[in-house]
Amino acid sequence: MAEIEKKPIKIVETVLRDAHQSLIATRMTTDEMLPIIDKMDKVGYHAVECWGGATFDASLRFLKEDPWDRLRKLRDGFKNTKLQMLFRGQNILGYRPYADDVVEYFVQKSIANGIDIIRIFDCLNDLRNLQTAVKASNKEGGHAQVALSYTLGDAYTLDYWKDTAKRIEDMGADSLCIKDMAGLLVPYEATRLVTALKEATNLPVELHTHYTSGVGGMTYLKAVEAGVDIIDTAMSPFAMGTSQPATEVMAETFRGTPYDPGFDQNLLGEIADYFRPIEEHALETGLLNPKVMGVNIKTLMYQVPGGMLSNLVSQLKEQGASDKYYEVLAEVPRVRKDFGEPPLVTPSSQIVGTQAVLNVITGERYKMITKESRALLKGEYGQTVKPVNPEVQKLAIGDEEPITCRPADLLEPELDKLEAEMAQWKEQDEDVLSYALFPQVATEFFKYRAAQKNKIDPTKGDNKNGAYPV
Ligand code: CO
């Protein structure tokens, strides 16, 4: 070991984003985050992932918080640590494709409010859906990281991943991420994949996995030995289960080796002590279900993300067809094949899962086809890795012409229209972006915000103790 050149592993902390999104439905509040960020800032993390994904939606919808305000507060607190966000390509943080002007403006404002690194992915790995966000990030001086949505299947050979990685490098990305959202990447496969990607590109490679199937820590070990540059971990109170491997465990794993990140275990201990009561409270209130903390080996058996399995269970229950669970599980890979074998991640996981349920409970495959299935088969989400089944496509769209161009090329600029719709609520430039993503939820939030303001207006005599900020 002594002869090996030192190559400290870089670590991205996810406790402020993916960890609580995976375990407690993204309900950690800004007030719960702020008291500890001073200490987190001293750890030496490569970055802290703290924004994007579902945090934006959950802040507005459930916590009645302005996500932009959270970002600015985190930026103020983290003086030495880069801030990272997750971005769904042309869908931004929402569930539909947006016109380029909205994507560009969102990237601009994210960086202006404090984001350093934007991790951009597409559920079909159609790189055309990423190019606007990557270009905007380059232009604004941000770090554009492009993520491969990792999955298994005939189409997903090492050559496929290498070729995609090269194209990502060519499109101007600053780094590459293997986004293993379902925990499907097993340790020795990580060796092969990381080795192949390091051969294919000069980009730094990051690995993001979830502990769902129980192999996450071992996968990181093999990936680091194979030369991966960065791994994503979560502080232990919000680690493992459907979240990431634990930060303290990975730091200790590499102690005294060339990969030692050099973290102070006492400092990590203090940070864990801070988050533990938040975890315990979430367990007490039922927000944290102990079930998600275990190992779900079915994830590996059926190659279906854990979250998708629980969705299938509840969909079948609603239909009074719980006995059809295994039939549906067998139908999922068939539908996925018909749909061009996409990775199963939001929104493709919901589309494939719902269609599989329909195929089973109606007793006839594609007797009913959802609107989303139709859109996917028509090419509205972009190009699938393998061609879709032409017979199923015909059933879904008849003689309509499938879309083969970049889907956003068909969208007119929409920022001005959105501005006009929400003008009465606007208090900051960023409000139009909140509205663009979640029109109803944002409007509800704007109303709440306005009402709060009136309530705490000192002239109305309701702020005697000065308890509320004005
Ligand atoms: Co994740």
Residue 455 is predicted with a pLDDT of 79
* Spacing, Cα 238 to ligand 1 middle (Å): 13
* Spacing, Cα 320 to ligand 1 middle (Å): 31
Structure tokens at 292: 């998600």
Residue 460 has pLDDT above 80, yes or no: no
* Spacing, Cα 63 to ligand 1 middle (Å): 21
* Spacing, Cα 28 to ligand 1 middle (Å): 16
* Spacing, Cα 208 to ligand 1 middle (Å): 7
* Spacing, Cα 14 to ligand 1 middle (Å): 9
∠ CA 443-448-453, rounded to 5°: 125
* Spacing, Cα 179 to ligand 1 middle (Å): 7
Q: How confident is the model at residue 458 (pLDDT cuts 50, 70, 90)?
A: low
* Spacing, Cα 198 to ligand 1 middle (Å): 22
* Spacing, Cα 180 to ligand 1 middle (Å): 7
* Spacing, Cα 181 to ligand 1 middle (Å): 5
* Spacing, Cα 232 to ligand 1 middle (Å): 9
* Spacing, Cα 263 to ligand 1 middle (Å): 23
* Spacing, Cα 455 to ligand 1 middle (Å): 39
Residue 466 is predicted with a pLDDT of 37
- What pLDDT digit, counting tens, does each position of 53-98 carry? 999 999 999 999 999 999 999 999 999 999 999 999 999 998 888 9
* Spacing, Cα 365 to ligand 1 middle (Å): 32
Structure tokens at 466: 């000065």
* Spacing, Cα 452 to ligand 1 middle (Å): 34
332 three-class SS: helix
Comparing 461 with 278, the larger pLDDT belongs to 278
* b/e burial code for range 85-113 (CB count within 10 A of at least 16 → b): bbbbbbbbbbeebbbbbbbbbbbbbbbeb
Do 62 and 27 meet the contact criterion of CB atoms below 8 Å apart? yes
Report the pLDDT averaged over residues 300-315.
80
- The residue assigned the tokens 């005939």 is 154
Residue 172 has pLDDT above 50, yes or no: yes
Can you give 77-130 as a three-state secondary structure string?
HCCCCEEEEEECHHHCCCCCCCCHHHHHHHHHHHHHCCCCEEEECCCCCCHHHC
Work out whether the CA dihedral 219, 221, 227, 230 comes out positive or negative.
Answer: positive
- What pLDDT digit, counting tens, does each position of 373-422 carry? 999 999 999 999 999 999 999 999 999 999 999 999 999 999 999 999 99
- What pLDDT digit, counting tens, does each position of 368-387 carry? 999 999 999 999 999 999 99
Neighbours of ion ligand 1 (CB under 5 A): 18
Q: How confident is the model at residue 467 (pLDDT cuts 50, 70, 90)?
A: very low
Whether omega before 347 lies within 30 degrees of 0, making that bond cis, reads yes
* Spacing, Cα 243 to ligand 1 middle (Å): 7
- What pLDDT digit, counting tens, does each position of 324-342 carry? 999 999 999 999 999 999 9
* Spacing, Cα 422 to ligand 1 middle (Å): 32
- What residues contact residue 280 under an 8 Å CB cut-off, 6+ apart? none
* Spacing, Cα 18 to ligand 1 middle (Å): 6
Residue 135 has pLDDT above 70, yes or no: yes
- What pLDDT digit, counting tens, does each position of 422-451 carry? 999 999 999 999 999 999 999 999 999 999
* Spacing, Cα 453 to ligand 1 middle (Å): 36
- What pLDDT digit, counting tens, does each position of 178-237 carry? 999 999 999 999 999 999 999 999 999 999 999 999 999 999 999 999 999 999 999 999
* Spacing, Cα 254 to ligand 1 middle (Å): 22
* Spacing, Cα 304 to ligand 1 middle (Å): 14
